[in-house]
A = this chain, B = another copy of it.
Amino acid sequence: MKKTATRAPEETRRRILNAAFAEFYRTGFQGGSINRIVAEAGATKGALFHHFKDKNDLGYAVVEEIIQPRIRASWFDPLADSIDPIADVKYTMRQFVKEEQERGRLVQGCPLNNLAQEMSPLDEGFRRRLEKVYSAWREAMEVAFARGIKAGKVRKAVSPRNAAAFVVAALAGIIGTAKNAQSEELLKQAGEGLFDYLDSLRP
């Protein structure tokens, strides 16, 4: 009765998943160690391989159950009903930088982009799942740009698709650059450039 449940499979699975996310975020997927993950999660290999069939399967779950929802909450949702995507992207980005800065996590880069850069060319399973997130992101932004044009907040000559592709790519590049340089100053500089671009889309 000390423990309400000696078995809590869903929670065990979740602990492993969280530990795996942290490990892969730190060392990359290939560099990530199953042994360290179970140690960190306070679990065992038996538990891990009970819930996930192999390392790849664990990695896939990290993408779908942890990374995707995070990106969605941070980046898609604020754009969901936006009719002024220029203002909203700028606001979202400022918000994001502020939050990550406080957690001191900025210089570790974007977990989505980190995994994508490493694994997309090596494993089709990863590539498909990661690309699904990216394409949804671009899609959300494209729709926002289209709405912005209709609302007269964005120039009509702008191609929503191209602009969306560029902004998402640029964001990934900017965060990655700041990570390499370990410099928030550089993040600000490149960010200014992106803001200038966005402003240039105004009517």
Task: Report which A residues bind B (CB closer than 8 A).
Answer: 26-28, 30-31, 107-109, 113-114, 116-118, 120-122, 127, 130-131, 134-135, 159, 161-163, 165-174, 176-177, 179-182, 186, 189-190, 192-194, 196-197, 200
Contacts and interface: CB of A to CB of B under 8 A. Distances in A.
| Of listed A107, A169, A177, A189, residue having the most chain B CB within 10 A | A169
Q: Name which of A113, A121, A186 has the most chain B CB atoms within 10 A of its CB.
A: A121
Given A161-B189, A172-B176, A193-B162, A28 B200 contact: no
Given A127-B182, A177-B168, A159 B109 contact: no
A173 B130 CA distance: 15
Contacts of A172: 173, 176-177
Contacts of A130: 180
Number of copies: 2
B190 A165 contact: yes
Given A162-B192, A162-B193, A192-B159, A134 B27 contact: no
Contacts of A159: 189, 192
Given A28-B28, A166-B194, 5 more contacts: A113-B117, A114-B117, A165-B186, A169-B170, A176-B176
Contacts of A28: 28, 30, 118, 122
A165 B189 contact: yes
Contacts of A200: 196-197, 200
Contacts of A114: 117
Contacts of A171: 173
A16 to B, nearest CB: 22
A95 B82 CA distance: 38
A200 B189 CA distance: 17
A74 to B, nearest CB: 17
A81 to B, nearest CB: 24
Nearest to A30: B31
A108 B134 contact: no
